Amino acid sequence: MIDFSLPDDLVALRDGVTRFIRDEVMPYESDPRQEFHGPTDDLRCELVAKAKQAGLLSPHGPVEWGGLGLNHVGMAVVFEAAGYSTLGPLALNIQAPDEGNTNLLHNVASQAQKERWLAPLVAGEVRSVFAMTEPDGGAGSDPSLMRTEARPDGDDYIINGRKWLITGMEGASFQILMARTFDQQGNDLGATMFMMDNDTPGIEIVRVLNTIDSNSPGGHAEVAYTDVRVPASQILGEAGKGFRYAQVRLTPARMTHCMRWLGAAVRCHDIATDYARQRQAFGKPIGEHEGVGFMLAENETDLHFCRLAIWQASWLLDQGEQARNETSMCKVRCSEALSAVVDRSLQVLGGRGITGDTVVERIYRDIRAFRIYDGPSEVHRWALARNIMKRN
């Protein structure tokens, strides 16, 4: 039986994050340093410094590298509280892709790699990139289509290819890149993850894409790799095991996306509820009309069951379970239900909802991408259906 009661120390941490978000972070939501492609690094560093001073930085990070070392249930509670502000995850250093990369490096990287890349990442001193998705029919929902190649040359590998929708590339310090790898005889070893600094010769940002969302520093870029030389010592884990390591990263990362967006959806619902109490129409507050009241009731229901689903899947991950089916189901349901919460909240606000007078309009744009990244809903449903059909 799953015990959903929270220990006192986690309640205290959640309450501390809630106060920090409301008092220190939310006042920055109208800061002009939030640009078209996302918050500037100057704004990020200012917020990170505040979280560090408050003792709230990197709640997901390993304790030995300066983080708070929370388990998945702990992260579910704290990430929701942080997600209440559009800048909360950035301030606490739990924004994607840095949060997922922290987990991957902690579980797979060598000691030398951790000292070089993990330590400054947990400290919030740098940003990172996870480069897997490709344009032009390359790797996406089907990673087996990967076209970026790494071929050996002495003690190094030479990498050529192209990636796109690479979040945060502009301004990031390093990246984890996936490439199809070959041995000296030309045999295909499968995908391999490589660590590399972003100023490595041959790496070029082709363009920063104009996308519907604007919550990640650096936006989303298309990146070209031309004869990029990387030492074999910078392979993350073992050559040819990149797809296996990708699951180490992606399975819990699906959950942390759900956690953060739950907080954002709660924020939208709170704004809509306050408005429904104040706005009068036809002789009474609009929340007392069934058309609006029922939307608020649907919001409450979706938020409640998303939270339960997140906590259950997080509990399974803490028990050491693979929980791949559970995290896929959670990602599908939360991405769609939380998007619906935000949509209803905007509808309740009426004309105000489509303006920048509240953060609902921005969250409405940002959360739409949640149904696509880390596996679109259709791919997760396909994978779940395939597993169902394999049962005896």
Residue found by looking up tokens 């590339």 in the block: 169
Residue 85 domain flag? yes
From CA 101, how far away is CA 175, in angstroms rounded? 9
CATH number of the domain where residue 74 is located = 1.10.540.10
pLDDT band at 3 (very low <50, low <70, confident <90, very high): low
Residue 193: count of CB within 10 angstroms of its CB: 28
Q: Is the same domain home to 107 and 136?
A: no
Shortest CA distance to 91 belongs to which of 31, 24, 170, 38?
A: 24
Q: Is the same domain home to 187 and 319?
A: no
206 three-state secondary structure:
strand
From CA 179, how far away is CA 160, in angstroms rounded? 9
pLDDT in the model for residue 141:
86
Q: Is the same domain home to 378 and 262?
A: yes
Shortest CA distance to 66 belongs to which of 120, 113, 117?
A: 120
Structural domain ending residue among the three candidates 71, 104, 122: 122
Q: Is the same domain home to 181 and 231?
A: yes
3-state SS record for 223-255:
EEEEEEEEEHHHEECCCCCHHHHHHHHHHHHHH
Structural domain ending residue among the three candidates 60, 93, 122: 122
Q: Is the same domain home to 58 and 157?
A: no
Structural domain ending residue among the three candidates 99, 122, 145: 122
Residue 74 domain flag? yes
Domain span at 236: 128-240
Q: What is the mean pLDDT of the chain?
A: 96
Q: Is the same domain home to 251 and 384?
A: yes
Strand partners, 194: 177, 235
pLDDT (tens digit per residue) in 294-336: 999 999 999 999 999 999 999 999 998 878 889 999 999 999 9
Q: What is the pTM of this model?
A: 0.95
Q: Is the same domain home to 247 and 360?
A: yes
Q: Kindly tell me if the per-residue pLDDT of 5 is higher than 90.
A: no
Q: Is the same domain home to 256 and 226?
A: no
Strands (E), 248-327: 280-281, 284-285
pLDDT (tens digit per residue) in 203-258: 999 999 999 999 999 999 999 999 999 999 999 999 999 999 998 998 899 999 99
pLDDT (tens digit per residue) in 176-190: 999 999 999 999 999
Number of domains making up the chain: 3
Distances (CA, A) of 307 to 59, 261, 333: 19, 11, 11
Residue 377 domain flag? yes
Q: Is the same domain home to 40 and 51?
A: yes
